[in-house]
């Protein structure tokens, strides 16, 4: 017998629950589907919110050839074979065949590249489904050819409607006497995931002592599940939301919040190296020159985790997290490199001043490469004023010290050496 979630899968837009902003009355996807004029798009959202179901509904409602591939099991060869079949089925003014790719974020760059031509010339209309942010996981040329629609976790009213429909219309459940006294636990554990909600409902009903007279309350649900499911998907959107909250808590100097988000990741079995890499980035981006030791500690944390792993690695991560969160903050280095990059994009490849150029050959020496360069260590304080910028950017400032004690000292030293030029 099929699972309840599969038995309850809707087949029309009217049966579809949730995502009113996309498929409700006069919403953009509903209009597109009803008109039959489908352009390529990507459905982005957490698991269990109806991405694959929506693609199947489109297949049911539109009179077009419909092909489906799973990025987990398909390769470049499979993609090319489907595109070839789709091309052979296109006749004159016939509408484009639809190619649905589930978990498109798992496609490699080469696999995504193999789609470009067919999408661009209209051989197929692509519908992709992903739990990952397409900005990170879908190549830019393909993303530019597709509209992205965001699907949201189902709201309480949507989940309640789903339960009501299952009890009233499912071929198995409608024959039982099922009373739901409390909804809090079943809704909380579902996490806005329709598939998970129906799986929990089916589990609780199947585990009931009296198969035809079932009472469901919070205690029953908790006992049946035997655990508190963590709302965290290492391969989904929550993965990015929680690491974002973690880094922002460190940046905001809140060690308690940072430790909480760290605990969420540790409890979910996140890769410790992933967390450590983000700590290294945070140490450089958010703490920077206010406390250069932060980068040393974060790097040592990463090295230690490669040797230790879980569970002891949580202690190393916690130590580093608290240290970074309680450190003074500076993003002066981050701002300076971005400002310099903007200048490079604007000014292009400016020539290196002659006195700074390398002169490995006699010809270069004859052309005065490096001729007027002054060796800093030959002068007091190991410093001598000379121009290090291209002529067009002479006296341009990119790095501006911030008000923490460490950078105030650096600022004072620069002013001592350079005088008015670094004010």
For domain 237-326, give the CATH number.
1.20.272.10
SS3 per-residue string spanning 322-370? HHHHHCCCCCHHHHHHHHHHHHHHHHCCCCCCHHHCCCCCHHHHHCCCC
Q: Are 115 and 109 in contact (CB under 8 A)?
A: no
Q: Does domain 346-422 have CATH number 3.40.50?
A: no
Q: Return residue ranges of the chain for CATH 1.10.8.60.
A: 156-225
Q: Return residue ranges of the chain for CATH 1.20.272.10.
A: 237-326
Structural class in CATH, domain 19-150? alpha beta
Number of C-beta neighbours around residue 384 at 10 A: 13
Q: How far apart are CA 335 and CA 344, in angstroms?
A: 14
Q: Return residue ranges of the chain for CATH 1.10.3710.
A: 346-422
pTM of the predicted model, to two decimals?
0.55
The runs of H, that is alpha helices, within 95-181 are 109-120, 134-137, 140-143, 156-169
Q: Does domain 156-225 have CATH number 3.40.50.1360?
A: no
DSSP state of 25: T
Q: What is the pLDDT along the chain (423 residues), one digit of tens a residue?
A: 688 888 888 888 888 888 889 988 888 888 888 888 888 999 998 888 888 889 888 877 887 778 888 777 777 788 888 888 877 766 555 677 888 988 888 888 888 888 888 888 888 889 999 888 888 778 888 888 899 999 988 888 999 999 999 988 888 888 888 888 888 888 887 878 888 888 888 888 887 656 667 888 888 888 777 654 444 444 444 566 788 889 998 998 888 888 988 988 887 777 788 889 899 999 998 998 888 999 999 999 998 888 877 778 889 999 999 999 999 898 888 888 888 888 888 887 888 887 777 777 777 677 777 778 888 888 888 888 888 888 888 888 888 888 888 888 888 888 888 887 766
């Amino acid at each position: 017998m099929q699972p309840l979630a599969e038995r309850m899968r809707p087949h029309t837009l009217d049966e579809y629950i949730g995502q009113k902003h996309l498929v409700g009355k006069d919403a953009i996807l509903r209009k597109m589907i009803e008109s039959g004029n489908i352009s390529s798009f990507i459905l982005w959202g957490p698991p269990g919110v109806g991405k694959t179901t929506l693609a199947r509904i489109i297949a049911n409602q539109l009179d077009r050839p419909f092909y489906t591939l799973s990025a987990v099991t398909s390769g470049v060869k499979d993609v090319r074979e489907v595109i070839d079949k789709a091309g052979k089925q296109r006749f004159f003014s016939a509408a484009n065949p639809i190619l649905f790719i589930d978990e498109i974020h798992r496609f490699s760059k080469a696999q995504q590249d193999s789609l470009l031509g067919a999408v661009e010339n209209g051989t197929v209309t692509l519908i992709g489904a992903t739990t990952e942010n397409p900005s990170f996981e879908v190549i830019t040329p393909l993303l530019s050819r597709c509209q992205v629609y965001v699907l949201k976790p189902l709201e309480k009213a949507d989940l309640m409607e789903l339960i009501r429909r299952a009890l009233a219309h499912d071929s198995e459940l409608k024959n039982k006497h099922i009373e739901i006294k409390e909804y809090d636990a079943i809704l909380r554990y579902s996490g806005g995931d329709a598939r998970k909600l129906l799986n929990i409902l089916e589990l609780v009903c199947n585990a009931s002592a009296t198969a035809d007279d079932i009472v469901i309350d919070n205690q029953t649900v908790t006992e049946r599940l035997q655990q508190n499911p963590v709302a965290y998907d290492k391969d989904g959107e929550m993965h990015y939301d929680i690491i974002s909250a973690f880094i922002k808590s460190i940046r905001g100097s809140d060690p308690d919040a940072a430790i909480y988000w760290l605990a969420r990741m540790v409890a979910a079995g996140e890769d410790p190296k992933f967390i450590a890499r983000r700590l290294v980035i945070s140490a450089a981006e958010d703490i920077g020159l206010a406390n250069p030791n932060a980068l040393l500690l974060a790097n040592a944390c990463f090295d230690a985790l490669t040797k230790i792993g879980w569970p002891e690695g949580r202690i190393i991560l916690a130590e580093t997290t608290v240290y970074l969160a309680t450190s003074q903050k500076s993003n002066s280095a981050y701002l300076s490199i971005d400002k310099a990059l903007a200048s490079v994009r604007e000014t292009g490849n400016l020539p290196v001043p002659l006195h700074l150029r390398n002169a490995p050959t006699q010809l270069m020496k004859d052309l005065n490469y490096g001729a007027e360069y002054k060796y800093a260590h030959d002068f007091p304080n190991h410093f001598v004023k000379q121009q290090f910028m291209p002529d067009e950017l002479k006296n341009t400032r990119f790095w501006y010290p911030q008000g923490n004690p460490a950078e105030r000292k650096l600022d004072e030293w620069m002013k001592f050496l350079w005088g008015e030029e670094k004010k």
